[in-house]
Structure 1
């Protein structure tokens, strides 16, 4: 019996415009509620941004946000992990030396911090994932610990940038989710391990979990669920670990699959 449904957002639950069919979700949510199924959004997006997206449902769903460094429910943080400031500053310095073309997003408990001299188009891109943004002249003035450090490179050079981070592999978790994004979190903190914490919290097993994903950072997520679905638009590596393949994110495939599975479960 399915008791927990987890979905990645970008490329999975959300369409290519970064939105979703709210009327359909209202129907799906009622189905989940009726069967006592928990719903979690598992994403690199800031929790505040997820709350914006889900509106009236934001306090009714589990949010595994900020690249799985955070679990939030009903407006309260249940779990958070941090990279200590000194280590984070070393990583930022390495990233600055690696390239001057990418965007470094340094996330702390206060918000997502970016440099104030970014072009407007790049600030707009950051706002797609972060609701609470702080602009500074110098990232090295940050004194708080980091929830995560993210790189956005519109030229798609993140796989190359990743090679500059090899020396940090025993100190932090690093994933190139796609050619334009790198996420850096505390050591061994990724979607799989954080979802395992959520499963323990809810008393839900692997056999009672359904998950959806498309990116390379969703591999560990899908490994936590017996009912693991890769999107048709997913990376081949992600499809390889999934037990099932569903439709495209642009066709509401996550929600229609949930409807179909819960209809079967209700019989």
Structure 2
């Protein structure tokens, strides 16, 4: 079957973390540009907002080839050629009042995100470990202690220049893109059990790494975002190849004709994938797309 589009997650999938900064490997960049030049459309699907995706889209020359962005796990779509952005859904403060209150009470680190701003609660029990991590990894003195999906402390001020404390739900703005929880693998599992007990059927949630849980409006996810994007592009999902590593990628991988889990993906993702490729650090996306360009049967 001819592949008409490729959709890929970013963190842990397309991006390499070696060298201290997230980046697209040169082999992957060349391969995806070649794929677009052959007529295959490219879609980036991420938990990031468009402001944190644009430099990668530019490096891949997506605008000139009719590429799209699926932002914040499907809360918004961005047509790069037409420079048109459509916000599909967001969380409201009133919706997450119970969530935020319960998570703070249970001493989880909680972050609420807008496009270029975040609000966070960091429990006292984590402060000493975070300060030690910050010093051990040579992070700037003024770096906030907020976690990231793959780090106990992550300096993400370039993507979220406005950062605030939110000790309770009243400190949050009226609208947010997503709510995230950071903790140990065991406590993240406990948080998911708690969510299923108290909020089943009200929100969507899933891990993007063993230590990072994302909570979204119930019907907002990458799969739904991809359905709408594919319809706008006039492409059947069965002719799309997908790549991902986190639980927020599962629906997208199973929707597409060829859904690949990265070698570094969570086991729950590998179980549902069409196949597993090598890790993001080994440029697994490039390896599979090169096979497509050579005409190899998948």
Instruction: State the TM-score, normalized to the length of structure 2.
Output: 0.77
Q: Distance between the aligned counterparts of 1:49 and 1:261, measured in 2?
A: 28
Other-structure match for 2:146: 123
Matched, 1:199 2:225: no
Other-structure match for 2:33: 30
Other-structure match for 1:220: 251
Matched, 1:9 2:40: no
Q: Is the 8 A contact 2:263 2:277 kept in 1?
A: yes
Q: 2:175 aligns with which of 145, 148, 157?
A: 145
Relative to 1, partners in 2 of residues 1:165 and 1:136: Cα closer, same or farther, differing over 3 Å? same
Structure 1 residues 143-179: Cα deviation after superposition (integer angstroms, max 9, x where no partner): 3222111112256521112223232222211213333
Other-structure match for 1:92: 100
**1:153-164 superposed matches below 5 A:** 153=183, 157-164=187-194
Relative to 1, partners in 2 of residues 1:58 and 1:72: Cα closer, same or farther, differing over 3 Å? farther
Relative to 1, partners in 2 of residues 1:129 and 1:195: Cα closer, same or farther, differing over 3 Å? farther
Q: Is the 8 A contact 1:157 1:179 kept in 2?
A: no
Structure 1 residues 42-66: Cα deviation after superposition (integer angstroms, max 9, x where no partner): 1222332222444444762422222
What stretches of structure 2 of length at least 5 have no aligned partner? 135-144, 149-153
Q: Distance between the aligned counterparts of 1:58 and 1:157, measured in 2?
A: 41
Deviates more, 1:188-197 or 1:124-133: 124-133
Deviates more, 1:184-193 or 1:11-20: 11-20
Relative to 1, partners in 2 of residues 1:104 and 1:13: Cα closer, same or farther, differing over 3 Å? same
Matched, 1:103 2:126: no
Q: Distance between the aligned counterparts of 2:193 and 2:44, measured in 1?
A: 30
Q: Is the 8 A contact 1:154 1:180 kept in 2?
A: yes
Q: Cα distance, 1:82 vs. partner?
A: 0.9
Q: Distance between the aligned counterparts of 2:109 and 2:211, measured in 1?
A: 10
Matched, 1:185 2:216: yes
What stretches of structure 1 of length at least 5 have no aligned partner? none
Q: Cα distance, 1:77 vs. partner?
A: 1.7
